[in-house]
Amino acid sequence: MKKWTFFVSVFATILLLAACNTGKEESAQSTPESKEVSSNESGNKENTAALQLLDDEKVGEYLADSEGMALYYFKKDESESSNCSGDCLKNWPPFTAAEFEVPSGFDKADFGTITRKDTGEEQVTYKGYPLYYFANDKAKGDVNGQGVKDVWYIVNSETAFQ
């Protein structure tokens, strides 16, 4: 009888350890998945750029991308249409962010996109007018494109188009 009790208790212990071990494997398997979900969630937030409003002594407040690069509009553009193409785009690359947040003082509804006729890519617009970078702006805070040829200007919440 004592032998039988010994075997039953050993067998029960083995089953108990096996059950505990299975739980650990499931837990270990679900932990990386949870981390992946968390990193994907934070990754999505990182992929959503935040536009910012910067200030310059000479030009005042202006709209910049998440890296602090100034955004400009072209006075010769028309609402929902870009007139900057070919060589123009070498100096004035289009702003093409897919998703972004806008700073205080701006209405997200004022931002949209157009499909460029020349490249087929989506370009972000503000109040219907396409937004651009200036190739000679190399660092955060540069506003070298302001007033170029009296047709390129920074964008801010006070920007009024023709």
Pair 59, 42 in one domain: no
Higher pLDDT, 95 or 30: 95
Pair 61, 116 in one domain: yes
Range of the domain at 106: 50-154
Pair 69, 25 in one domain: no
Pair 136, 149 in one domain: yes
Pair 39, 56 in one domain: no
Q: Residue 114: count other Cβ atoms within 10 Å of its Cβ.
A: 19
Pair 32, 65 in one domain: no
Decide if pLDDT at 12 tops 70: no
Tens of pLDDT, residue by residue over 69-82, are 999 999 999 999 99
Pair 10, 78 in one domain: no
DSSP letters spanning 91-106: HSPBP--SSEE--TT-
Tens of pLDDT, residue by residue over 56-68, are 999 999 999 999 9
For residues 108-112, give the mean pLDDT.
95
Pair 74, 130 in one domain: yes
Domain count of the chain? 2
For residues 20-46, give the mean pLDDT.
35
User: What are the C-alpha distances in Å from 115 to residues 67, 125, 134?
Assistant: 24, 10, 20
Pair 63, 137 in one domain: yes
Q: For residue 20, what pLDDT band results from cuts at 50, 70 and 90?
A: low
- The C-alpha atoms of residue 89 and residue 95 are separated, in whole angstroms, by 11
Report the predicted TM-score, pTM, of the whole model to 2 decimal places: 0.70
Q: Residue 5, class by beta-carbon neighbours within 10 Å (0-12 exposed, 13-18 middle, 19+ buried)? A: exposed
